[in-house]
Structures are given as C-alpha cells and as structure tokens.
C-alpha cells in the first residue's frame, strides 16, 4: 500500500449541524475567532486531518485540509464492501467500510456505504453522523441525500428530512425513491421540465438555397 499526502476541500453545511457544537461556528459570535474556529473544526474532523484554512459564511464552512491517506486501498475496500452488500453480507461489508475510513477518513464512497448500512441496521445516530461526513467529503448526489432524509424521518426530524429530500429532488427529479419519500411526507414534487428534442429544434443557420438552373 502507498500512502499519499493530499490537499482536499470539504464543505460543512450549517443546517447539518444545528444544535451541535460545530453549529456554533455559524451562530455563536465568540466562535468566530480564528483559534475557536480551528479548535472546533479540529475536534470534529479528528487528529488525522490537518486544517490548512477555513472560510465561514452564513450557510457553510469551506475548509481546506491536508490528509495522508491510502486512497487506492480505501477505494478497493469500499468497492469490495459494495459487492458484499449486494450479496447480503452485512457484517463483512461493515468491517471493510470501517477499515476503509481508517485508511482514508474523508473517503466519500466508504462513508456513504457505511452510513446507509447503519441506517438499515437502525443505528440511526451513527448513521446520521457518517452520512453527513459523506456529504462534506464528496459531491452531493440524490442517493446520499435520500439516505439522509430517510434517517431524519426515522428519528422524527421531519423538517430536516424534507430539506434533504427536496435537495435530492433538485439533483435528480426522476429518482423514484426520492419522489415517493416526498409524497409520503405530503410534499408534491414539482413537474419535471424535460428539454426539447434536439432533432426538433429550429436550425440557427438557414440552409443554403439550391442554385437556380440556367435557362
């Protein structure tokens, strides 16, 4: 295995941390001091993640970090765990996903897989924490936001569930699971606006006129 040093950029959303200690970054004026910001972020991200710089806005924190990771091995373990889950081997998959996060604490695929699995096992508190990490470490996608929404439904956090599900719908309006979850909460998804067919679009340049026949 080869360990590599990487600079990564993560985004921590205010609405994911309302009510916890990290949420004070956005609501507590005293927490806006540089030392306090670094202390709170350091406690949240752990000792293996070194904070390079952080920018706090009203709704999110953009954080640049340095990590030393075994990325290839972590990705391999996450892929193997996904295969085990497809075969119903939850215990083995959970072990591999946790090992992947030990090798790469900001591995979005491993965090998504572990968080979803923990939700299926009804371990909702840890599932929510890990799924939030997945959102922060990697790009958002409808499946991840749906998983967050479902955990919030199970823990009676309806307002948060709707927020996550509506974001999932924005990312993929055609996702059936997202549309059904919104409907179960009494939220009617907006109609999908489909682009017009390219082959029916009017040409931007008029075709050349055929040359006139000589008399």
pTM over 0.75: yes
Share in percent of the chain as helix, strand, coil (round to 5): 55, 15, 30
Burial of 148-163, coded b for 16+ CB within 10 Å and e otherwise, reads: bbbbbbeeebeebbbb
Weakest-pLDDT range from 131-135, 147-151, 208-212: 208-212
What kind of fold does domain 70-125 have according to CATH? Answer: 1.25.40
Question: Which pLDDT score, from 0 to 100, does residue 188 have?
Answer: 80
Question: Which pLDDT score, from 0 to 100, does residue 194 have?
Answer: 55
Give the residue extent of every domain in the chain.
4-69, 70-125, 140-189
The band of 33, judged by pLDDT with boundaries at 50, 70 and 90, is: confident
Burial of 93-127, coded b for 16+ CB within 10 Å and e otherwise, reads: bbebbeebbebbbbbbbbbbbbbbbbbeeeebeeb
Q: Which two tokens stand for residue 157?
A: 């956090």
CA 94 – CA 78 distance, rounded (Å): 10
What residues are paired with 84 via a beta bridge? none
Tell me the range of 128-132, 202-206, 207-211 where mean pLDDT is highest: 128-132
Q: pLDDT tens digits for 41-50?
A: 999 999 999 9
CA 108 – CA 113 distance, rounded (Å): 8
């Amino acid at each position: 295995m080869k360990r590599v040093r990487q600079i990564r950029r993560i985004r921590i959303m205010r609405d994911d941390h309302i009510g916890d200690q990290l949420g004070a970054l956005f609501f507590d004026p005293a927490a806006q001091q540089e030392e306090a910001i670094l202390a709170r972020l350091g406690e949240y991200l752990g000792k293996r993640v070194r904070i390079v710089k952080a920018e706090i806005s009203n709704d999110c924190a953009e954080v640049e970090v340095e990590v030393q990771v075994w990325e290839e091995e972590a990705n391999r373990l996450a892929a193997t765990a996904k295969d085990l889950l497809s075969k119903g081997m939850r215990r083995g998959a959970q072990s591999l996903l946790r090992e992947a996060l030990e090798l790469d604490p900001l591995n979005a695929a491993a965090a998504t897989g572990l968080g979803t699995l923990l939700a299926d096992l009804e371990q909702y508190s840890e599932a929510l924490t890990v799924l939030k990490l997945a959102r922060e470490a990697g790009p958002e996608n409808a499946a991840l936001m749906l998983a967050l929404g479902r955990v919030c439904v199970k823990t009676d956090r309806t307002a948060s569930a709707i927020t996550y599900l509506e974001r999932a719908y924005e990312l993929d309006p055609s996702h059936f699971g997202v549309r059904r979850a919104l409907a179960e909460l009494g939220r009617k998804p907006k109609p999908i606006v489909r682009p017009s067919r390219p082959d029916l679009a009017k040409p931007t340049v008029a075709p050349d006129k055929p040359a006139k026949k000589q008399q």
